[in-house]
Structure 1
C-alpha cells in the first residue's frame, strides 16, 4: 500500500497556503501546477498516468474506499504521488465550489509541443479556439473534441486559461484524453497551411452550410471564435473556407461550445466515426 503522509488540519498550514494559491492563474503559471477537485477528476488523472504531486483527502469522509485499487498498488498510475489526509477546512481552502468534494490533487502541467500537429502520417482533426473567454465553454469544447476523436485542441491568444478550476471541471476529465496546447494563431495557421492543413473558419456571414462542406479531408482544422465577436478578422483571413450552421428555427446564433460540438461531430460523421 502506498504510504500516507501526516495529517494536516489547519488551513493556515504553509503547504495548504501554497496549494490554495493555485486557484489563481499567476501562481499556476509560475509553478507549472494546477488543482483537480473531486473523485471523478482525480481518478481520471490517475488512470491516465497524469503526474500528480499530492492527493489530499478528507480523512473522515471515507473517500479512500473509491481509490482502493490505486492505494493497493494494482495500477501503476500515481506511483510516487503523496496521499495526505486533511481536514474539511483544508479542502474548503483549496476549492472554489460552495460544497467541495472530499478530495483534490495538485497536478503538474504537461503541455504538448506543436510537433504533434504535423507529420506525414497525421490524419488530423483539430479544434482551434480564437479568444474563447468563458471557462465553461472551453471545457465543453475540450470534452467534445475528445469525444469526437479530435487529435488536438489549440488555444489562441485571448482564450481563457485551460487550468482555470471551472474549465477543468467542465472538461469532465477529457483534458486527459486529448492534447491541448497554446499557440499564436497568426504564426501557427500559416505554418499549418504550408504543411497541407485545411483551415476552416466559422462565421455567421458565411454562405456555405457546414453540411455541404467536405470535412473528410486528411488534415482539417476547425476554428471557433470569441463568444461575442466570433473569429477575429486576422484569423478569419487565414482560413481556406468559412462555414455556417444553418438554423431553421428562430435563434440569432448558437453558443460557441454548442457550435463547436455540432461541427466536430459532423466532421466525425463524414470521416467515418473513427478516431484518428
Structure 2
C-alpha cells in the first residue's frame, strides 16, 4: 500500500479539490470524510474510487475490498484534507449519483425552497429518512447536495433515500398532474393547521428559506398551505424543527 506523507502529492491535491462544487461537477466525484460516512458508502454500494486513511483505519475489515485503491496517509495529510478541526483520518473519493425525477410519484416527499443552512438541511434529510419519506428535493437556492458541511450533517442518509436537485415548480406540476397534494408552510389567513390535514400515503411537503420562508410563487401553486399552532410566545420555529413536527405528524394514522 502506498504511503503518502506530502500534501503536494498529486492524488492528495486532486482529492482536496473535490470539496469545491465546480471541481466536483467536473470530475463527477466528491470527497467524503469520516469513518461512519465511509462505512455508509461501502454498505450502500456507492462507487468509491479512492480511500485515504491514516494508520488507525488502513486495516479495517470494511476496506479490504478496496485495498488496491486505498492509500495510507500521514496525520498531517489528513489534517490538510479535512474540513474539520479534529479529523478522524479517513476519506473516500465517491462518484456522484444523479437520480432523475420518477415517472410516478408515490410516497411522501420533502421539498426545500432556498434553504441555505447545511445543518438545517442535513437534519431535515435525516428526519425524512427516519420518517420513511420517498425522497427529498433541494430546490433552487438551496445548499448543494455535495457541500462538505451538508455531507457531514446528513450522516449518510443520502445513501438511504434519493435526493434530487431541481426547480420546485416543475416538481409541483408533476405532483399536481398525478393528483398528489402539495402542502406549503406559511402563517396566513388562508393556511390551516397541520392537524386538520387528512392523512395520505402520497403527498409533498414544502419548507422554505430560514429568513423568508417559502417563495410566494411556490406558495401560490400549492394544494394547501399549513401552519403549526404555537401556544407559547415565540414568533416562529426553526425550519428543521418545524419540518420534523410536520413530517412525523403527517404520517400518523
Q: If the TM-score is normalised by the length of the shorter chain, which range does it land in?
A: over 0.9
Q: Does 1:27 align with 2:23?
A: yes
Runs of 4+ aligned residues of structure 1 deviating over 6 Å after TM superposition are none
1-side partners of 2:169 and 2:228: how far apart? Answer: 25
What pairs with 1:184-203 in structure 2 (closer than 5 Å)? 184-203=167-186
The answer on 1:213 being equivalent to 2:206 is no
Give matches, 1:226-265, under 5 Å: 226-265=209-248
2:99 aligned with 1:112: yes
Partner of 1:91: 78
| 1:267 equivalent in structure 2 | 250
SS of the residue 2:49 aligns to: strand
SS in structure 1 of the partner of residue 196 of structure 2: coil
Residue pair 1:53, 1:81 contacting (<8 A) in 2 also = no
User: For residues 111 and 245 of structure 1, what CA distance do their matches in structure 2 show?
Assistant: 34
Deviation at 1:64, TM superposition (A): 3.7
1:55/1:106 contact within 8 Å kept: yes
Asked if the contact 2:200–2:251 (Cα under 8 Å) also holds between the matched residues in 1, the reply is no
Q: Distance in 2 between matches of 1:261 and 1:56?
A: 35
**How big is each residue's C-alpha offset from its partner over 1:21-73, in whole Å with a ceiling of 9 and x where there is no partner?**
112122112221111111111011111111111111012xx2245x31442x5
Q: 1:76 matched to which residue of 2? A: none
- The question of whether the paired residues in 2 share the 8 Å contact of 1:196 and 1:219 is answered with no
TM-score, L = length of structure 2: 0.94
Structure 1 pair 184–58 and aligned structure 2 pair: CA distance change class (3 A): same
Q: Distance in 2 between matches of 1:151 and 1:80?
A: 34
> Which has the higher mean CA deviation after the structures are superposed, 128-137 or 18-27?
18-27
Query: How far is 1:232 from its partner?
Result: 0.2
Which moved further from structure 2: 123-132 or 261-270? 261-270
Gaps of 5+ in 1: 74-78, 271-276
- 1:144-189 deviation digits (Å, cap 9, x = unpaired): 1100000000111001111111101111111110100111122221
Paired with 2:131 and 2:144, the residues of 1 have a C-alpha distance of 22
Q: Name stretches of at least 5 consecutive residues in structure 2 with no aligned partner.
A: none
- Matched positions, count: 252
CA–CA distance in structure 2, aligned partners of residues 108 and 231 of structure 1? 32
Partners of 1:263 and 1:23 lie apart in 2 by 33
Aligned partners of 1:132 and 1:218: how far apart in 2?
Answer: 25
RMSD (Å), alpha carbons: 1.6
1:133-212 pair list within 5 angstroms: 133-205=116-188, 207-212=191-196
